[in-house]
Chains A and B, each alone.
Chain A
C-alpha cells in the first residue's frame, strides 16, 4: 500500500483512479460505523445460537432459548380465554333485567357480540345488521320470529331450517313452481297483498284483481299470514302490512315470492358457541335498534329518569 498516492489536502489515500484529472479519495469507513457493523455481525451470531434461525430439511434450528411465536400466541389466546371466562359465565347466567342493571356486563356483551357478529354473521346480514335480499335486516323493528332478547337468543341457538331438532321451521308453498295456483291467480293475490300493505301508495294495485285475489288469499295464505296480513311470529310468517320485504318490494319481486315460496337457512349456532357467547351475540343484535322488551317488564335502571315505554317497537336499551 505504500505506493499509493496521498491527497495533500485531506491526507487520505487515493484509489489510483483518475478521470480527467479528478482523483478518487479512498476515504476509510468511519470508525463508529465500522464498530457498529462488527457489533451487528456478533449480534447475528449470538442470535443464531439463541433463537430459531436456520432451516434444516423439514425442521429448523430451535435455538437454546426455545422461543416459539406459535406457542406464545397459543399461550396468549388461552390466557385471554381464561381472563374472559368469568364475564362470559356471568353473562350466561344473567337475566335480561340483570344485564340491564349492569353497565360493565353490557359493555362486555356489546364488545364480545360485535366481534363474533363480525366473524360469523356479517357475511350474510351485513355490517351493523344492514341485511340483504333474502337475509333479514337486523337493525329494523321487524322480526319474523320475535325480537326480544330471549327470542333472538333462541333463534341463534337453533337456527332457521337448520336441521337442528328444535329449529325454527316455516315453509311457504311455492304456489307457482308447484302449480298450486295459476299465473292469473298469483297475479290477483299479488295485487291483494299490495293492497293490504303499506306499498299500496306507491304500487297502485289493480282493485278488481285485488278483490279477486282476496278470496284466494283467505283460502291459501291467511292461515299463516293472518286474515288481515298481520303475520304470525309463532309460525314465522312475516307481516304483510308494512312496506318491508325480505326478497324485495317491487311488484315483480312480490309475485316471484308467491311463485317460489323462498325461505333461507340460518345455521344453529348452539354447537359452535358457548352460552355466554350466544348471549353476547343476542345482546348485540338486540341493541342494534329494533330489539323488543322481554315479555316481563324491565325495571328502570336510572334513579331519576324512568325509561318511557317502548315507542314504535323501539327498545329502551340501557345506557352504558
Chain B
C-alpha cells in the first residue's frame, strides 16, 4: 500500500489551512485497509470546553462515588454505593436491594435505554460525543499524549523521526502515564464491590483477594488498549450502537452537520477576495485536523462520526478569522439541510411523535419504579414444603405435613411476626413456641432471612389428596402482612 505524505507544507489559504487528510474519509475507506494513525489537533471553543467539563464531572462521579459514606447505623455497611456480592445486597444511598429485587436494576436499564433513544432522537449521538466512557477516556489519553508529545504536527513529526533518546523518553513516559491511568481506572472499579478504604489499604499491602487484582488487571488492559491504541476503531468496528443509531435518528434529529448549502462551492480564499458566487468553506481542513475519528464531516453524516462537535469549534474559529458568520458546521438536522436547498428557512422540530413516545415511555417506567419503591415490601415469606416424607401419619390418626418457612425481614430492625395458616379446617400449627391463639410468634432477625420449621397437623379424617394451604406472617407492631401459598397432602389408609 502506497504511503501518502501526511504533512504538506504548501499552505492553501494563508496560515489557516492545514493539509490534513481524513484517513477514514469516504474515499479512503476500503475493505482491507490497515489502520492509519490519527493525530487530532486540539480544538478550542465552546464544545471543547463542554467536553472538558463533562470529562471532569463524569470522571469525578466515577472516582468519588465509592468513597461517599452513608450512615446506616449499628455497625452496618456505611458505603453509599456498594454492590455486595458476598452479603448479597446492593446499597444505593437510602436504598438497600436484595437479590430478588433485581428488577429495579432492570427498570433502571430500561430507563437508560429510553433516555439514550430520546437523546438520539433530539440531538443525535450526544452520548457518544460527550458521555461514553470510550470517548471520555480516549479524550483523557489524547490530552496526556498532547501534553508530552505536543499537538498534531509535533506528534506527526515525532512519529516520522528516527528513534532517539528524546523520542524514546517521550514515548515511554506517555505509555507509563497511560498505564497508570488505566490502573487507576481498574483500581476504582473494584471499590464499588468492597469497602473502599479497607480495599484500598489491602490492595497496596498485597492482602486483597486475587479476584480484585485480576479485575484491576483486566480493566487496566482494556482501558490501555481501548483508549490508548484502538480509539476510533472501538466506535467504528466494535460498538453496536452506530448500527442501532440509524433507527433512532430521523430527518429532524439534530446532529453535527456541515451546512453544504452555505459552504459549497468550497475553495481557497485570499484576504480581500470577494465572497460572491462561492461558498463559505475555504477548504482549510481544520475540521479534519481536529477530528478524533479521522473523517471529513463535509462528507455528510457518517457511521464513524461520534458527534463530538470539535469540528464545530475548529470551523467557528476559522469563520471568525475570515469574517464570515459562525455555524458553517453546527448542530442541525437533515430536514433543514434540504429545506435550505429549496430556499426555505430552517425549522426545528424537537417535539415529534417519536420524541413524545420516548418521553412518555420514560415517564411510565420512571413512575412504575417510583411506585414500586414507595410501596416496596420489607417483609416477605417463602414456604418450602418437605417432600420426603410427603405426609406423616400420627398415632391418633391425624396427618402432619412439614414446612420450612423463610421469613425475609428487609428492615434493619428485628421484627416479631405471627405465623398463621388458613385454608384447611381444623389445621393446627406446631412449632417450638405457641402463643395463646395457636399462632406461632417468631422473631425475624434484622436484615436477614430467618428459617423456621413448621408442622401443620390436620385432624383425623382429613380427606385424601392435596389441599390448598396459605401461610401468613403478620408484623404485630406495624401490621404488615406477607402471604405465601403452599399445599397440604394427605394419604389414604396405611
Can you name the residue of chain B whose Cβ is closest to the Cβ of A12? Answer: B32
Tell whether, in the assembled complex, residue B494 and residue A248 are in contact, meaning their CB atoms are under 8 Å apart.
yes
The verdict on A249 contacting chain B, using a C-beta distance below 8 Å, is yes
Question: Would A126 and B395 be within 8 Å (CB), given that A316-B432, A317-B453, A319-B432 are in contact?
Answer: no
Write out the residue numbers on chain B whose beta carbons fall within 8 Å of the beta carbon of A316.
432-433
Query: What is the interface size of chain A, counting residues whose CB is below 8 A from a CB of the partner?
Result: 43
Mark B435-447 against chain A: 1 for CB-CB distance below 8 A, else 0.
1000001100000
Who on chain B is nearest to A249 by CB?
Answer: B494
Residues of A within 8 A of B435 (CB): 305
* Residues of B410-447 whose CB lies within 8 A of A: 428, 430-435, 441-442
Contact B396–A317 (Cβ < 8 Å): no
Q: Which residues of A contact B455 (CB under 8 A)?
A: 289, 314
Evaluate contact between A289 and B397: CB separation under 8 angstroms.
Answer: no
User: Which chain A positions have C-beta within 8 A of B493?
Assistant: 202, 243, 249
Please name all residues of chain B whose beta carbon is closer than 8 Å to the beta carbon of A287 when the two chains form the complex: 453
- A317-B393 contact, Cβ under 8 Å, with A11-B32, A243-B494, A312-B398: no
With a CB–CB cut-off of 8 A, which chain A residues contact B393?
137, 140, 243-244
Q: Is the interface of B mostly helix, strand, loop or mixed?
A: loop
Q: Which residues of A contact B431 (CB under 8 A)?
A: 317, 319
**What residues of A have a CB within 8 angstroms of the CB of B402 in the complex?**
128, 139, 289
Chain A, residues 1-26, CB within 8 Å of chain B (1/0): the string is 00000000111100000000000000
Please give, as numbers and ranges, the residues of chain A lying within 8 Å of B389 by CB-CB distance: 126, 128-131, 137, 139
Does A141 contact B394, Cβ atoms closer than 8 Å? yes
Are A312 and B394 in contact, CB atoms less than 8 angstroms apart?
yes
Chain A residues 104 to 126 lying within 8 A of chain B, measured CB to CB, are 126
A206 at the interface (CB under 8 A from B): no
How many angstroms from the CA of A289 to the CA of B457 in the assembled complex? 11
Total interface residues in chain B, CB < 8 Å? 33
Could you tell me the distance in whole angstroms from the C-beta of A7 to the nearest C-beta in chain B? 9
Q: B289-310 CB contact bits vs A (8 Å, 1 = yes)?
A: 0000000000000000000000
Partner of B457, one of A131, A239, A312, A317: A312
For residue A224, give the distance in angstroms from its CB to the closest CB of chain B. 18
**Of A128, A198, A319, the contact of B452 (CB 8 Å cutoff):** A319
For the complex, give the distance between the alpha carbons of A309 and B304 in Å.
Answer: 79
Residues of B within 8 A of A306 (CB): 433
Min CB distance B45 to A, Å, is 39
Are B441 and A242 interface neighbours, CB within 8 A? no
Q: Contact mask A306-320 → B, CB, 8 Å, 1/0?
A: 111001111011111
The one of A9, A139, A239 that contacts B395, using a Cβ cutoff of 8 Å: A239
Tell me if B397 and A198 are in contact (CB < 8 A). yes
Question: Quick one: closest A residue to B461, CB to CB?
Answer: A201
What B residues does A43 contact at CB under 8 A?
A: none
Q: B395 and A142: CB pair below 8 A?
A: yes
A-facing mask of B391-406, CB < 8 A → 1, else 0? 0111111101010000
Determine whether B388 belongs to the interface, using a CB cutoff of 8 Å to chain A. Answer: yes
- Residue A217, interface by CB 8 Å: no
User: In the docked arrangement, what's the CA distance between A32 and B393, Å?
Assistant: 69
A131, chain B: closest CB distance, angstroms = 7
Chain B residues with CB below 8 A from A184, complex form: none
Residue in B1, B386, B394, B451 whose CB lies within 8 Å of A313: B394
Tell me whether B397 and A127 are in contact (CB under 8 A).
Answer: no
Interface string of B465-494 (1 = CB under 8 A from A): 000000000000000000000000000011
List chain A residues, Cβ under 8 A from B392.
137, 139-140, 289-290
A29 CB → nearest B CB, Å = 16
A254 to chain B, nearest CB (A): 11
Known: A9-B32, A129-B389. A308 touches B434 (CB 8 A): yes
In the complex, are the beta carbons of A11 and B433 less than 8 A apart? no
Closest chain-A Cβ to B368's Cβ sits at a distance in Å of 38
* Complex contact B395–A242 (CB within 8 A): yes
**Residues on B with beta carbons closer than 8 Å to the beta carbon of A199:** 494
A126 and B388: CB pair below 8 A?
yes
B116 to chain A: closest CB distance in Å?
A: 31
Specify which chain A residues have a CB less than 8 angstroms from the CB of B397 in the assembled complex: 198, 242-243
Known contacts: A127-B388, A129-B389. The answer to whether A320 contacts B494 by CB under 8 A is: no
A318 in complex: contacting residue of B387, B396, B400, B432, CB < 8 Å: B432
Q: Which residues of B contact A130 (CB under 8 A)?
A: 388-390
Q: Which residue of A lies closest to B386 (CB)?
A: A128
Shortest Cβ distance from A202 into B: residue: B493
> Are A11's CB and B1's CB within 8 A?
yes
Q: A128-B386, A317-B432, A317-B453 are in contact. Are A245 and B394 (CB under 8 A)?
A: no
Which residues of A are found within 8 Å of B387, using beta-carbon distances? 128
* Residues of chain A in range 192-221 having any CB-CB distance to chain B below 8 Å: 198-199, 202
Could you list some 20 contacts between A and B, CB below 8 A? A10-B32, A128-B402, A130-B388, A137-B392, A140-B394, A140-B395, A140-B400, A142-B395, A199-B494, A242-B397, A305-B433, A306-B433, A307-B433, A307-B434, A312-B394, A312-B396, A313-B395, A314-B455, A319-B431, A319-B442
Task: Please name 16 further chain A to chain B contacts, defined as beta carbons within 8 Å, in addition to the given A244-B393, A312-B396, sorted by A numbering.
Answer: A9-B32, A10-B32, A137-B389, A142-B395, A242-B396, A243-B393, A243-B493, A249-B494, A289-B402, A301-B432, A307-B432, A308-B434, A311-B428, A312-B398, A317-B431, A319-B432
Residues of chain B having any CB pair with chain A under 8 Å = 1, 31-32, 386-390, 392-398, 400, 402, 428, 430-435, 441-442, 451-453, 455, 457, 493-494
In the A-B complex, list the 6 residue pairs whose CB atoms are closest, starting with the nearest: A130-B389, A249-B494, A127-B388, A128-B388, A242-B395, A305-B433
